[in-house]
Amino acid sequence: MDELLEKQKLSADEYIKEKSNYLRGTIKESLSNPLTGALHPDDVKLIKYHGSYQQYDRDLDSERKRQKLEPLYQFMVRVRVPGGITTPEQWLALDKLSDTHGNGTMKLTTRQSFQFHGILKRSLKPTIKAINETLLSTIATCGDVNRNVMCNPNPYQSQIHEEVYGIAAKLSEYFTPKTTAYHEIWLDQEKVGGTPDREPLYTETYLPRKFKIALTVPPRNDIDVFANDLGLIAIEEGNELVGFNVCVGGGLGSTFGDDTTYARLADVIGFVSKEKVIEVSETIIAIQRDYGNRVNRRNARLKYTIDKGGLEWFVDELNSRLGWEIESPRNYHFDTNGDEYGWLKGTNGKWFYTLFVENGRVKDEKGYKLKKALREVALVLNKDADMRLTGNQNLIIGNIEEKDKDVIEVILAQHGVLNNPKLTGLRLNSMACVALNTCSLAFAEAERYLPSLIDKLDVLLTKNGLQTDEINIRMTGCPNGCGRSPLGEIGLVGRAVGRYNLYLGASHNGDRLNTLYKEMLSEEGILETLDPIFSAYALERGEGEHFGDFVVRKGIVEVTDRPVKILCFSENG
């Protein structure tokens, strides 16, 4: 009886998962229903685990309503790319798919994945099939499971990076759902021998909420390790990777008006050797599976599980399940969470070119043919080269021989992609989430608006001689934080069409959240508010002082959040 009462309180998603037969639901039937461009509502939830969101074109919504038509349903498809590394062949295949089935653009996301938008229901299966033919997948890029595992692209320490990347790929594989539903629905693969599905880790109700893992090699924190449920900071000693500091409980989303929700940075709870990292990650996921909130999805991420039980409880639970104790964290240092542009030489002697992609949108515009340029680059790259998505929505053309550098530069220059005078310090450190017209949760524009706002902010910065300063600005269309706005030295979060909350004071290396400064600002309000702060920064900053640190030191915002907590340091740390 108690069990029944307990069960009745669970969120609707829990029942949908439970009765879905390991994520099958009626997706096949929904796909073949010719009467609507949409799926059955339960399948709308389930299809996320397969890597797709049902959306509609919000720009056309009122016109469709006027014509008494259903919304223009379409699908977003997210590709799983552990560590963001693709081959040139994969890039070419995805580029082609965006034209044949999508809206002709590709979105490089803040978690090193590709997103396609505007895919109609009838094209969903061919799209997912074609992605799998490139040896990539879409499984578990969304849903209550472990998502795309991030790994910073760190080109300088390319040898350590390669090892860390290998571990990221292993974690990604290890935590991929084991159900055969994906292969049945999208790849027409029959179940072998009628064996029933099993999910040894996830069980049939999967996790209470999404789960995110990221690995990084200091000194770069360009994947914002503290924004993840589980962050792993590579520890190198004597030029060797020895293991990882383990961080838990990061997450940036919140809901306006609901104080039980908040952005939170992960805490560093200890160090584990590289051999133990899968065991520790699996145990952490299992604790969240067993203790995470399955009644209220708003409070279901690991950060709330930890805050409810306490960090000490969490570490005790982890140690007791492991049957051994994780060690004290080792020393590490992060300098920035941004990307470094242009050519860099890796420790493997190869070259890496980091290219700014505004808000991650790969498209062609008049005088700036980025999509075409990257297609041509992919065509000339040799087979050891790669194309790496960064966690800041940019691209690294990686593992290039010295002799091939010129060819790449020529192609980029021919298509107007190099030497753009608009690439100021602010723009190069900017990021915006998708928001309108596809995201159903957006209150305001982000990706489509930030570039023009930066034009205007740049006028103010140039007036103060700050045009090359690396100030990081992040905009999201709602407080879910997909563009990691809570970690922007300047964070702008959509409240309503044309209105934004302004947050200031995050650190430049991603270890301190920003704080609310002003609410409901129009564009004019944003410019009027920031103008005097930029002037004060130009005149009064200390040597090498970052903008986020300056506004905190001057008391312009008070830091209300605690910084990343580091449980304790070992003697040598």
- Catalytic residues, which ones? 78, 147, 210, 212, 433, 439, 478, 482
Contact between 53 and ligand SRM per CB under 6 A: yes
- The CA distances from residue 254 to 299, 338, 482, in Å, are 10, 23, 11
Binding test (CB under 6 A) with ligand SRM, winner from 143, 249, 251, 329: 251
Q: State how far the Cα of 436 lies from the Cα of 454, in Å rounded to an integer.
A: 18
Could you tell me whether strands 490-496 and 473-476 are parallel, antiparallel, or unpaired per DSSP bridges?
Answer: parallel
- Closest separation in Å from C-beta 494 to ligand SF4: 7
Q: State how far the Cα of 550 lies from the Cα of 543, in Å rounded to an integer.
A: 11
Residues 525-564 that bind ligand SRM (CB under 6 A): none
Q: 169 or 527: whose CB is closer to ligand SRM? A: 169
**Which residue stretch of 7-15, 248-256, 305-313, 451-459 sits at the interface with ligand SRM (rule: CB under 6 A)?**
248-256
- Closest separation in Å from C-beta 117 to ligand SF4: 11
Residue 464's contacts (CB-CB under 8 Å, 6 or more residues apart) are 534, 535, 537, 538
Could you tell me whether strands 361-362 and 351-355 are parallel, antiparallel, or unpaired per DSSP bridges?
Answer: unpaired
Contact between 438 and ligand SRM per CB under 6 A: yes
Contact between 330 and ligand SRM per CB under 6 A: no
Q: 209 or 350: whose CB is closer to ligand SF4? A: 209
The amino acid at residue 93 is A
The site partner of 484 among ligand SRM, ligand SF4, none (C-beta below 5 to 8 Å per kind) is: ligand SRM
What is the chain's Cα-based Rg? Answer: 23
Residues 452-471 that bind ligand SRM (CB under 6 A): none
- Closest separation in Å from C-beta 485 to ligand SRM: 9
The site partner of 147 among ligand SF4, ligand SRM, none (C-beta below 5 to 8 Å per kind) is: ligand SRM
The site partner of 249 among ligand SF4, ligand SRM, none (C-beta below 5 to 8 Å per kind) is: none
Q: How many CA atoms lie within 13 A of 216 on its CB side?
A: 30
Q: State how far the Cα of 280 lies from the Cα of 319, in Å rounded to an integer.
A: 9
The site partner of 472 among ligand SRM, ligand SF4, none (C-beta below 5 to 8 Å per kind) is: none
Burial of 266 (0-12, 13-18, 19+ CB in 10 A): buried
Binding test (CB under 6 A) with ligand SRM, winner from 74, 109, 172, 245: 109
> Contact residues for ligand SF4 (CB under 6 A)?
433-435, 439, 441-442, 446, 476-478, 480-482
Residues 284-313 that bind ligand SRM (CB under 6 A): 301
333-372 footprint of ligand SRM as x/- string (CB under 6 A) = ---------------------------x------------
Burial of 404 (0-12, 13-18, 19+ CB in 10 A): middle
The amino acid at residue 350 is K
Size of the residue set binding ligand SRM (CB under 6 A): 33
Contact between 84 and ligand SRM per CB under 6 A: no
- Closest separation in Å from C-beta 328 to ligand SRM: 27
How is the beta sheet containing 230-237 ordered, strand by strand?
150-151, 213-216, 230-237, 240-248, 267-273
The site partner of 478 among ligand SF4, ligand SRM, none (C-beta below 5 to 8 Å per kind) is: ligand SF4
Element (H, E) at 28: helix 27-32
Burial of 126 (0-12, 13-18, 19+ CB in 10 A): middle
Q: What is the DSSP code string of 219-243?
A: TB-TT-GGGSSEEEEEEEETTEEEE
Per the DSSP assignment, residues forming a β-bridge with 55 are 74
Binding test (CB under 6 A) with ligand SRM, winner from 242, 418, 441, 527: 441
Per the DSSP assignment, residues forming a β-bridge with 77 are 52, 116
Q: State how far the Cα of 215 lies from the Cα of 221, in Å rounded to an integer.
A: 9
Q: 326 or 446: whose CB is closer to ligand SF4? A: 446
Whose CA is closest to 548, among 493, 473, 479? Answer: 473
- The CA distances from residue 138 to 77, 228, 255, 383, in Å, are 7, 20, 28, 24
Q: 146 or 515: whose CB is closer to ligand SRM? A: 146
- Do the beta carbons of residue 359 and residue 447 sit within 8 Å? yes
208-247 footprint of ligand SRM as x/- string (CB under 6 A) = --x-x-----------x--x--------------------
Contact between 253 and ligand SRM per CB under 6 A: yes
At residue 39, the 3 state secondary structure works out as: coil
The site partner of 123 among ligand SF4, ligand SRM, none (C-beta below 5 to 8 Å per kind) is: none
The site partner of 477 among ligand SF4, ligand SRM, none (C-beta below 5 to 8 Å per kind) is: ligand SF4
- Do the beta carbons of residue 391 and residue 224 sit within 8 Å? yes
- Closest separation in Å from C-beta 109 to ligand SF4: 9
Q: State how far the Cα of 106 lies from the Cα of 426, in Å rounded to an integer.
A: 23
Contact between 172 and ligand SRM per CB under 6 A: no
The site partner of 264 among ligand SRM, ligand SF4, none (C-beta below 5 to 8 Å per kind) is: none
- Closest separation in Å from C-beta 444 to ligand SF4: 8
- Closest separation in Å from C-beta 76 to ligand SRM: 5
- Closest separation in Å from C-beta 485 to ligand SF4: 7
Measured in whole angstroms, the distance separating CA 173 from the mean position of its chain's CA atoms is 18
142-161 footprint of ligand SRM as x/- string (CB under 6 A) = -----xx-------------
- Closest separation in Å from C-beta 226 to ligand SRM: 10
Applying CB under 6 A, the residues found at the interface with ligand SRM are 53, 55, 76, 78, 109-111, 113, 115, 141, 147-148, 210, 212, 224, 227, 251-253, 301, 360, 393, 433-434, 438-441, 480-484
